Chains A and B, each alone.
Chain A
Amino acid sequence: MKEIIAIVRMNKTNATKKALVECGAAGFTATKVSGRGRLVEDATVIAARKADLMRLAETEDLLETEMLIDGFLDGTRFFPRRIFSVVAHDADVPKIVAAITKANKTSYQVGDGKIFVTPLVDAYRVRTGESGDAAI
């Protein structure tokens, strides 16, 4: 038994839910969290993203907008994310990880989230009292 902890973008929640249903692991628990990743070392990624955002900006108050965008991109800010916890049989883990990855990958290069797979010692179903693999 493994627990798959996936941190995804807020607007990918529905895509992730759909992907989980399609790969046969419909059960999950999700919460709203805020988080940040490690600092982005590749300056070109940030520069490209900044150029994208600046293109959307109004023409007046450009300096203020630039300060705001810099604040967003410097990596110290916490962004809202959704955290999914899925419990699965060992054999299903690669399939589920691949499905979550596929649903969440974007072209932004950073901020798509992380997936952690942790071992689970035991699981119980409250309704029947089953334990171990039968409880999943």
Chain B
Amino acid sequence: MLLVRAIIRPEKRDEVLYELSTAGFHAATVLDVMGRGKQKGIKIGSIVYDEIPKVMIMMAVRDEDKDDVVSVIMRYARTGEKGAFGDGKIFVTAIDEEHTVSAAEIA
């Protein structure tokens, strides 16, 4: 199992989740987060915004599904054809164990 954490634009949340669900990846956890990237935020006039609201989507996926999930997110979270600064990042980390509480046997 792998944990995919994608940080995307808030306005893309519904579209990305819908497309993930259509592609067969239904389970997801969504968090509202704040962050900045290596562009150091946005500078408008003399004001610097370095805490930009984003949405984080967390998904536990099977190893073989990782590429599909990443490509769906990549495709629908992107702004325009080539993408723009601030479209987000996707991090993939390992999961050693996975437990479903409702299915677990209690000793």
Contacts and interface: CB of A to CB of B under 8 A. Distances in A.
Interface of A: 2, 5, 7-8, 31, 33-39, 75-76, 78, 81, 83, 93, 97-98, 100-102, 104-106, 108-119
Q: Is the interface of B mostly helix, strand, loop or mixed?
A: strand
B101 A37 contact: no
B47 to A, nearest CB: 28
Interface stretch (B25-33, B35-43, B68-76, B82-90): B25-33
B29 A105 contact: no
Given A114-B98, A114-B101, A116-B98, A33 B26 contact: no
Contacts of A113: 101-102
B60 to A, nearest CB: 6
Contact of B27 (A37, A106, A112): A37
A116 B3 contact: yes
A111 B102 contact: yes
Given A113-B101, A118-B3, A34 B96 contact: no
A66 B100 CA distance: 29
A110 B31 contact: no
Contact of A117 (B30, B31, B96): B96
A97 B106 CA distance: 11
